[in-house]
């Protein structure tokens, strides 16, 4: 059997892409082993909550804001017009996959190992068989497969662990050069994690890789990269799920058009670059890579009400983030 699109990976990027394509009447297969859980802080940001419907099936806690710290300086941003959610990532992924399957996508519990282009189609070699499809969405995260086909090359090493302590309603980030640590309240425990650009931190816990910048090229003649596989994560915001979902939707729209003969896959890159302002966020991350600036940044959030509101707007995407916002930060801190 030959499918119009094979979606490799059943996380947010893959499941939402499969659901959209299936709802448009395309024959879709999702390939994912479903044998391990995703290591993830599990936050639906204000940007996500503003655009998409939230279901109680996976929500663990409504968040009031974020606490930032650098060394002994601590600041708190309480969201005035936005809300974020701490979620059970496993329940979130299962919910979205069920939605995709209910829309008509077929699920194959298997691992994709290799893509082979055969003129007008692709052969996906898995551990059990070979599957034919006209097009493929690679949404398998920071995997061997995504790296093999041009996925994100620059990433951070992360370790996360569960702590049985009393949670509150704030996401916490401890900023440092070359990485950061975080604490995310769940229903009755807390997830803490640490990232580093120089290898996995020497602490116990579950390990994962977080991409730091988009892949150089996210399309080919027959496949697209989406979500973490494409490097669509903003470490500064702690944002990945929104970019995963939105990139899956854009990939589905582009492939539906390609199947109908209305556009080429190269339009995918133009579409996501219009939606995701990663160049501006990268500039902000570079700006905050200096200890003196980091210290001033957190102190100003603590002491300056207007600056606190500016950072709140940047984090919650209440207004479209512009280069002038970075200029404002620089003028205040330098």
Q: What is the CATH number of the domain that holds 120?
A: 3.50.50.60
Q: Is 330 helix (H, G, I), strand (E, B) or coil?
A: helix
Tell me, yes or no, whether 308 lies in a domain. Answer: yes
**Residue 175 lies in domain:** 63-84+156-211+279-334
Which two three-digit tokens encode residue 314?
């940047």
Is 226 in the same domain as 332?
no
Taking each helix axis from N to C end, the angle separating 291-303 and 305-316, rounded to the nearest 10 degrees, works out to: 110
Asked, for residue 226, whether it belongs to a domain, the answer is yes
When computed from its CA atoms, the radius of gyration of the chain, rounded to whole angstroms, is 20
Instruction: Please check whether residues 238 and 320 belong to one and the same domain.
Output: no
Residues 37 and 160 in one domain: no
Q: Are residues 160 and 17 in the same domain?
A: no
Same domain, 288 and 146: no
Rounded Cα gap, residues 24 and 252, in angstroms: 9
Is 98 inside any structural domain? yes
- Measured in Å, how far apart are the chain's first and last C-alpha atoms? 61
Q: Is the dihedral of CA 274, 42, 48, 58 positive or negative?
A: positive
User: Does residue 53 lie in a domain region?
Assistant: no
Query: Residue 291: its pLDDT value, please?
Result: 85
pLDDT tens-place string over residues 27-82 = 999 999 988 888 889 999 999 999 999 999 999 999 999 999 999 999 999 998 89
Using DSSP's 3-state secondary structure scheme, residue 304 falls into: coil
Q: Are residues 259 and 289 in the same domain?
A: no
Per-residue model confidence (pLDDT) at position 167 = 95
Q: Which two tokens stand for residue 250?
A: 């854009």
Per-residue pLDDT tens digits for 109-167: 999 999 998 878 899 999 999 999 999 999 999 999 999 999 988 888 999 999 999 99
pLDDT tens digits along 8-36: 999 999 999 999 999 999 999 999 998 88
The answer as to whether 206 is a domain residue is: yes
Residue-level pLDDT at 292: 86
What percentage of the chain carries pLDDT values higher than 90?
67
Reported as a pLDDT band with limits 50, 70 and 90, residue 99 is very high
| 102 and 173, same domain (yes or no) | no
| Same-domain pairing of 35 and 165 | no
Report pLDDT for 118: 83
CA distance 65 to 63: 6
Same structural domain, 75 and 136: no
Structural domain count, the chain:
2
Quick one: average pLDDT of 217-235? Answer: 93
Mean per-residue pLDDT over the chain, rounded? 90
Please tell me the distance from the alpha carbon of residue 1 to that of residue 219, in angstroms, as a whole number: 25
């Amino acid at each position: 059997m030959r499918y119009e699109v094979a979606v490799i990976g059943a996380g947010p990027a893959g499941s939402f892409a499969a659901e959209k394509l299936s709802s448009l009447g395309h024959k879709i297969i999702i390939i994912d082993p479903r044998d391990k859980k995703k290591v993830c802080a599990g936050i639906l940001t204000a940007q996500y909550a503003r655009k998409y419907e939230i279901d109680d099936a996976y929500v663990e806690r409504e968040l009031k804001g974020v606490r930032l710290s650098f060394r002994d300086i601590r600041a708190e941003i309480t969201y005035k017009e936005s809300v974020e959610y701490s979620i059970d990532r496993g329940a979130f992924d299962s919910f979205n996959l069920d939605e995709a399957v209910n829309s008509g996508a077929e699920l194959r519990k298997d691992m994709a190992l290799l893509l082979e282009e055969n003129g007008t189609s692709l052969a996906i070699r898995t551990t059990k068989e070979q599957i034919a499809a006209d097009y493929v969405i690679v949404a398998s995260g920071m995997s061997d497969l995504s790296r093999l086909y041009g996925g994100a090359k620059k990433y951070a090493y992360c370790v996360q662990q569960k702590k049985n302590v009393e949670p509150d309603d704030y996401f916490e980030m401890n900023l440092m050069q070359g990485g950061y640590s975080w604490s995310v309240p769940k229903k009755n425990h807390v997830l803490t994690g640490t990232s580093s650009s120089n290898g996995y931190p020497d602490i116990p816990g579950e390990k994962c890789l977080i991409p730091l910048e988009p892949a150089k090229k996210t399309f080919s003649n027959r496949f697209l990269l989406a979500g973490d596989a494409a490097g669509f994560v903003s470490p500064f915001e702690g944002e990945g799920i929104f970019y995963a979902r939105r990139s899956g939707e854009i990939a589905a729209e582009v492939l539906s058009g390609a199947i109908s003969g209305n556009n080429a896959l190269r339009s995918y890159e133009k579409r996501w670059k219009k939606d995701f302002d990663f160049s501006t966020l990268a500039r902000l991350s570079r700006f905050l890579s200096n200890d003196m600036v980091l210290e001033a940044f957190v102190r100003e959030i603590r002491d300056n009400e207007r600056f606190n509101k500016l950072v709140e707007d940047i984090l919650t995407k209440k207004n479209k983030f512009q280069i002038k916002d970075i200029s404002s930060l620089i003028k205040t801190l330098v």
